[in-house]
Amino acid sequence: MALSGGGPHESRALADLAAQGRPRLVHDRRSSRRELVRSVVIAVASSVVFFGVLGWIIVNSSGWPEVRQAFLDERIFWSSLPATLAGFVTNIQLFAIAEVLILVLGLLLAVMRSLPGPAFFPLRFLATLYVDVFRALPGVLVIFMLGFGIPGLAIAGLPVDPFPYAVLTLTLLYSAYVSEVYRAGIESVHPSQEAAARSLGLNRFQALRYVIVPQAIRRVIPPLLNDFIGLQKDTVLVSFLGVVEIFRTAQITNAATFNFTPYLDVALVFIVITIPLARLTDWLVERERRGRASGGLR
C-alpha cells in the first residue's frame, strides 16, 4: 500500500486500523485529519465497552470462583514452573532434531517432484503419493499408528524408548508440508533462470542444485519459519507416546495437585517462545518484499 505523502506513518497506520472496514474515499487533507481523530475516539470507546462487558460477564459467571481456583492458582503456577521448564527441554530436543531431518527430507521430496520428463515418473509418483497421504492424515493418528505400531512389531534392534518414534513421526508429518513450501519456492523462480543455466551447459540437476534451489530457499524462509512455529507446538502431541515433555509434565503435576494451573505455565512458555519467532517471520517477509520491489529484473 502506497502512503500518499504527508502525515506521520504511525498515526496513519493507527487511523487505518481504526477505520478498517469502512469504504475508503478520496478525501482532502483537512477532512482526513478530523476523520483520524474521530476514528481513534470511536476505536478506544468501543474497545473499552467490548472488553469491559466481556470481563464483567466472566467475573460474574456462577462458575468463576471454581475456574479461578482450578486454572489460575498463583502458588501452583510458580511451584510447577521449574518442572514445566525441565519438560520443555525435551520439546526443544525433539524440535531441533526433527527440524533438521524435515528440512532435508522436505527438500528431497520437493526436488523429486520437480524432476521433469517421463524417466523420473516413478520418483515423482512416489513423492506425490507421500505428500498426499501425510498431508491428508491427522497428525495424532500418524503419531499413534506409527509410534505404537513400529515398536509393536518387536523387531530385534529397534529401540524401545518412545523418543526416536516421536522424532520419526513428527519428521514424516512435517516433511510433507515443508516439501510443498519448497516446491512453491522452486516454481516461483523464473524459467529464464533455468534457461540461462542450461544454456551454459549445466544439466538439469546442476541447474536445480546451483541456480534454482538456492534462490527458492531464500524466498521460502518466511513460510518455512511459519511451519517451524507449527512444529514447535505440535511437539506436545507426542506426549501420547509417553515421551515426558512439557505437556506430559503438566499432566503429571495436574494429577498430583488436582489443579489445572500447570497448563497455564505450558501456555505461557509457548507464547514466550513463539511470538519472537512470529515477529522475525514478519520482518523477513517485509525485507523480502522490499528487496523485490527495488530489485528490478530478477
Partner 1 sequence: MTATGTAALEIDGLRKSFGSLEVLRGIDLTVAEHEVVCLIGASGSGKSTLLRCVNLLEPIDAGRIVVEGVDITGHGVDVDRVRRRIGIVFQAFNLFPHMSVLGNVTLAPRKVLGQSRTDAERDADVLLERFGLADKRHDFPDRLSGGQQQRVAIVRALAMRPDLLLLDEVTSALDPELVAEVLDVIRELAQSGMTMLIATHEMGFARDIASRIAFLDAGLVLEEGPPAEILTEPREPRTRQFLQRVIQAGRL
Instruction: Name the residues that contact partner 1, by CB under 8 A.
Output: 192-193, 195-203, 206, 210-211, 214-215, 218, 295-298
Nearer to partner 1, 219 or 233 (CB): 219
Nearer to partner 1, 98 or 189 (CB): 189
Grid cell digits, residue 70: 482450578
Nearer to partner 1, 215 or 254 (CB): 215
Nearer to partner 1, 182 or 270 (CB): 182
Nearer to partner 1, 12 or 209 (CB): 209
- What is the secondary structure of the chain as a DSSP string? ----SSS-HHHHHHHHHHHTTSPP----HHHHHHHHHHHHHHHHHHHHHHHHHHHHHHHTSTTHHHHHHHH--HHHHHHHHHHHHHHHHHHHHHHHHHHHHHHHHHHHHHHHHH--SGGGHHHHHHHHHHHHHHHHS-HHHHHHHHHHHHHHT--TT---SHHHHHHHHHHHHHHHHHHHHHHHHHHHS-HHHHHHHHHTT--HHHIIIIIIHHHHHHHHHHHHHHHHHHHHHHGGGGGGGT---HHHHHHHHHHHHT-SHHHHHHHHHHHHHHHHHHHHHHHHHHHHHHHHHHH---
Q: How far is the CB of 219 from partner 1 (least distance, A)?
A: 10
Q: How far is the CB of 218 from partner 1 (least distance, A)?
A: 7
Q: How far is the CB of 215 from partner 1 (least distance, A)?
A: 5
Q: How far is the CB of 114 from partner 1 (least distance, A)?
A: 18
Nearer to partner 1, 215 or 251 (CB): 215
Q: How far is the CB of 262 from partner 1 (least distance, A)?
A: 47
Cβ burial 165-184 (10 Å sphere, 16+ → b, else e): bbbbbbbbbbbbbbbbbbbe
Nearer to partner 1, 133 or 200 (CB): 200
Nearer to partner 1, 116 or 276 (CB): 116
Q: How far is the CB of 211 from partner 1 (least distance, A)?
A: 6
In three-state secondary structure terms, 159 is: coil
Q: How far is the CB of 125 from partner 1 (least distance, A)?
A: 24
Instruction: State the number of CA atoms in the 13 A half-sphere of 98 facing the CB.
Output: 30
Q: How far is the CB of 129 from partner 1 (least distance, A)?
A: 29
